[in-house]
């Protein structure tokens, strides 16, 4: 089997959906206004989105844009990189929409599904590859944000309970999701953290990190947008720069009260003695 055939086979089993909003001024990233204008905030979000779609399109996985609102279908079909499919998030709160997207992807025959945010421009290929690697052994993988939420959720089967009863837009999203996973008897792996951009404080911090240590080739659209509003100095993508370290590979594992410390894996469904109390829902592959 050659490399192209192998990539095609993997793509048929793995899927990544980007949760996307139409970048309309006054409807996206409004917490950045002021000091940004609504147009600047929408343009910035459009750059986050474009970089995220470009990232996902390069992965060995079937890519999806899960868009909102419903009427934005034509916009996203024009925007979609080659090979990416567009599906509507539908109506309801975030949990209802996430559950709907998860069900659609698993119903298409995929065996590993990641759903990612479109406002975490620091997300890179290593985060996504590591998430799929973790799903070889864990039922659930989460990418923690800096605000108590997550920028990525991935599962090996459709698990609607993970999206129900979550206090969305609070600092308790990640912790509550872990509790839900524990209740369902699911094993859970945690990725390195990555911030999403909601506030000016988030934006200033990300711009500073990008300026001092970001990969020169990372998130080019976001770099350009940040330079356009004066938050970073324009940089030649070909210039040298200190590379930020990729997420660490799985290290030695040892168990402390159900936590796989070496890889930040939360062994949901186990007691502190390590005995599995119940099996998670859905098929195991």
* pLDDT 10s digits, 53-103: 999 999 999 999 999 999 999 999 999 998 899 999 999 999 999 999 999
3-class secondary-structure state, position 85: strand
Helix locations, 152-282, DSSP H = 173-183, 200-213, 220-228
Angle, helices 220-228/38-57, rounded to nearest 10 degrees: 160
Cβ-based neighbour number of residue 207 at 10 Å: 20
Is the pLDDT higher at 74 or at 216?
74
Does the domain formed by 3-266 have CATH 3.10.110.10? no
In angstroms, how far is CA 236 from the centroid of its own chain?
A: 27
Which token pair is 42?
């929408």
Q: How far apart are CA 146 and CA 134, in angstroms?
A: 21
Give the pLDDT band of residue 216 (cuts 50, 70, 90).
Answer: low
State pLDDT tens for residues 14-56. Answer: 999 999 999 999 999 999 999 999 999 999 999 999 999 999 9
pLDDT at 255 exceeding the cut of 50: no
Angle at the Cα of 115 (from 37 to 220), degrees rounded to 5? 45
The predicted structure's pLDDT at residue 12: 66
> What are the extents of the domains in the chain?
3-266
Q: How far apart are CA 179 and CA 66, in angstroms?
A: 26
The predicted structure's pLDDT at residue 214: 66
Is the pLDDT higher at 5 or at 140?
140
The predicted structure's pLDDT at residue 195: 93
Label residue 24 exposed, middle or buried (CB < 10 Å: 0-12, 13-18, 19+). Answer: middle
The predicted structure's pLDDT at residue 218: 84
Helix (H) or strand (E) holding 38: helix 38-57
For the whole model, what pTM was predicted? Answer: 0.81
The predicted structure's pLDDT at residue 269: 37
Of 59, 58, 81, 68, whose CA–CA distance to 27 is shortest? Answer: 68
Q: How far apart are CA 213 and CA 222, in angstroms?
A: 15
State pLDDT tens for residues 184-200. Answer: 999 999 999 999 999 99
pLDDT at 245 exceeding the cut of 70: no
State pLDDT tens for residues 130-183. Answer: 999 999 999 999 999 999 999 999 999 999 999 999 999 999 999 999 999 999
3-class secondary-structure state, position 43: helix
Is residue 265 within 8 Å of residue 190, measured between CB atoms? yes
Of 3, 67, 285, 11, whose CA–CA distance to 157 is shortest? Answer: 285
């Amino acid at each position: 089997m050659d490399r192209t055939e192998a990539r095609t086979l993997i793509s048929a089993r793995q899927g990544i959906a980007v949760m996307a909003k139409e970048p309309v001024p006054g409807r996206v990233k409004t917490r950045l206004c002021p000091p940004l204008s609504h147009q600047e905030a929408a343009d910035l979000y459009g750059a986050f989105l474009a970089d995220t779609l470009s990232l996902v399109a390069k992965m060995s996985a079937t890519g999806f844009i899960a868009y909102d609102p419903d009427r934005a279908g034509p916009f996203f079909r024009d925007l979609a990189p080659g090979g990416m499919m567009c599906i509507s998030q539908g109506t309801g709160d975030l949990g209802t929409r996430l559950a709907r997207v998860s069900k659609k992807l698993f119903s298409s025959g995929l065996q590993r599904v990641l759903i990612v945010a479109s406002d975490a421009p620091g997300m890179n290929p290593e985060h996504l590859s590591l998430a799929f690697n973790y799903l070889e052994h864990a039922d659930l993988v989460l990418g923690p944000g800096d605000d108590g939420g997550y920028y990525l959720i991935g599962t090996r089967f459709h698990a609607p309970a993970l999206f129900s009863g979550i206090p969305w837009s609070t600092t308790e999203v990640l912790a509550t999701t872990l509790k839900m996973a524990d209740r369902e008897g699911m094993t859970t792996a945690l990725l390195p953290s990555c911030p999403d951009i909601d506030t000016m404080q988030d934006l200033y911090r990300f711009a500073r990190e990008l300026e001092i240590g970001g990969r020169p080739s990372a998130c080019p659209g976001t770099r350009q947008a940040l330079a356009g509003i004066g938050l970073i100095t324009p940089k030649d993508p070909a210039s040298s720069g200190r590379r930020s370290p990729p997420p660490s590979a799985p290290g030695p594992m040892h168990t402390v009260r159900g936590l796989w410390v070496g890889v930040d894996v939360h062994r949901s469904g186990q007691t502190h003695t390590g005995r599995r109390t119940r099996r998670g829902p859905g098929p195991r592959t």
